[in-house]
Amino acid sequence: MEGDGDSDDRVSSQKEDPPMSEPHSIQILEPRTPNHVVCPHCGLRQLFIKETEYWRTVKAPHLKHPLVLKIRMICAKCRNPDCPRKSFALPIPGVERYQRATRTLISEAVAGVVQDNSTLKRIAQRLSRSFNTTGSKSTLDRWKQRLASQYDFAEILRKLQFSGALSIDEYMPRRGGRYEQIAGDVKKIRILYIEPVPWLYGRGVTERFLRKLDSWDIHPYCVIFDLWTTFPKIVRKVWPQASLQYDYFHVMQWVWHYLKNGLIQFRKSLKGERWALHREELWEMKWGLLKHMDRWTQKEHLLIPEMIQIYRGTPVEKILLFKEELWNIFDLSETKAEAIAKRNALAQEHWWQDSWHLQKCMDFLMSPKFDLMLTYLGDPRVPRSGQSETLINVWRQMEAARRGFKTHKGRLNHLKLFQITEYLKLPL
């Protein structure tokens, strides 16, 4: 327990924590008096002169019985006349200033919240069950926020050693109410930074986000983003030498949207009782039909060839053929020129032109965006996928455990601690 929250913490612990069967064990700590001290306010090294002393009670973890430390706090007088403080307390190893808990207990509690992706209530119960001590949810939250405030994003990102491949995307946070921009390391699959979009989304929002990353020595050789129109020109403005790549996931997501709707529209056209089994079959296999053949399950290998025979000459066959042409363009091409030639050859064919959904897909492939879809074919260092959806899913798991973060500051503090414990593997 700490600060002004002592009474609230005691009330919370009486309601939530089970009664302890053993009495508290008290251990007295009396630090050795030094000959010389250094004032933490002015930095002057000087002879030790005692000003006053008092005793503090501090909670400590113990596996067998409740433990309370009785610590003798000694205050030394500062002999510097220009110092803003007349005295200062001598530091006690393992005991935080102004907090009634040891650093070990605080680190264990915060690590449980971050690494185990647990809630404050569960960690409070764990402290009582495993370490024979107490801590309310508000106290645990204060420990977490104060510990995170000791770290800086610029220093954390420097230690993360950015690989050079950057992904940027947007997502809607839980309890956020507005979109946020997320930046990640593509090759190491790490979240780098998150920033909310202002309520009035105006010009310069994305540029400010990228400028902030640039000020933290994030200088990518390639940037991967979704199909948002503003990304290419803004990235070129901030990092003119970086290669640009549209995220393959978002490209296929856009195309698959029309292919799936084409299947669904054909299924809806099969009306009447005689087509009931066909409608059920198409609904069950709508995603299997859009998979690559190498990823079909054993059941799909048995059913889909029969479906091709049944639906020959229908939109189902055309969608399957168009899907294979897409795999041929993006997966089997070795150079950008080869992929462009395959696209142009597909555009000259006529078998797909009577389908509105396939026309929309072809219009998308013939758009100026197609060049940035193939950057990975011209530069082998550039990944074709930015892994941004993977990073967003990781972050959503952390949001789900606590039903979202109430504030953006709390969101950033949790990200700091996650980066330190998960990516850098450092103790808190």
- Give percent above pLDDT 90 in the chain: 38
Dist. CA 247–CA 191, nearest whole Å: 16
Following CA atoms 115, 120, 126, 131 in sequence, which dihedral angle do they give, to the nearest 10 degrees? 90
Q: What is the average pLDDT score of the chain?
A: 83
DSSP-assigned beta bridge partners for residue 194: 182
Question: What CA–CA distances, in Å, run from 242 to 79, 153, 297, 299, 357?
Answer: 56, 23, 40, 45, 34
Q: What is the pLDDT of residue 308?
A: 78
pLDDT for 5 beyond 50: no
Q: What confidence tens digit (pLDDT) does each residue in 303-330 have?
A: 778 777 888 888 888 888 898 899 999 9
Question: What CA–CA distances, in Å, run from 421 to 14, 98, 187, 424?
Answer: 32, 25, 19, 6
Residues 6+ apart with CB under 8 A from 171: 179, 180, 182, 392, 395, 396
Q: What angle do the packed helices 120-130 and 103-114 form, to 10 degrees?
A: 130
Q: What is the pLDDT of residue 168?
A: 94
Between CA 57 and CA 65, with CA 62 as vertex, the angle to 5 degrees is: 90
DSSP-assigned beta bridge partners for residue 245: 224
Q: What confidence tens digit (pLDDT) does each residue in 18-42 have?
A: 444 455 577 777 778 888 999 988 9
Give the DSSP per-residue string, 385-406. Answer: ---HHHHHHHHHHHHHHTTS-S
User: Six-digit token pair at 39?
Assistant: 């004032």
Question: What CA–CA distances, in Å, run from 393 to 189, 255, 400?
Answer: 12, 22, 10
pLDDT for 261 beyond 50: yes
Furthest-apart CA pair in the chain: how many Å?
A: 98
**What would the mean pLDDT of 149-161 be, rounded to a whole number?**
92
Q: What is the pLDDT of residue 248?
A: 94
Q: What is the pLDDT of residue 182?
A: 93
Residue closest to 183 by CA, chosen among 415, 428, 426, 425: 415
In three-state secondary structure terms, 381 is: coil
Question: What CA–CA distances, in Å, run from 194 to 54, 84, 242, 313, 387?
Answer: 44, 38, 21, 49, 15
In three-state secondary structure terms, 54 is: strand
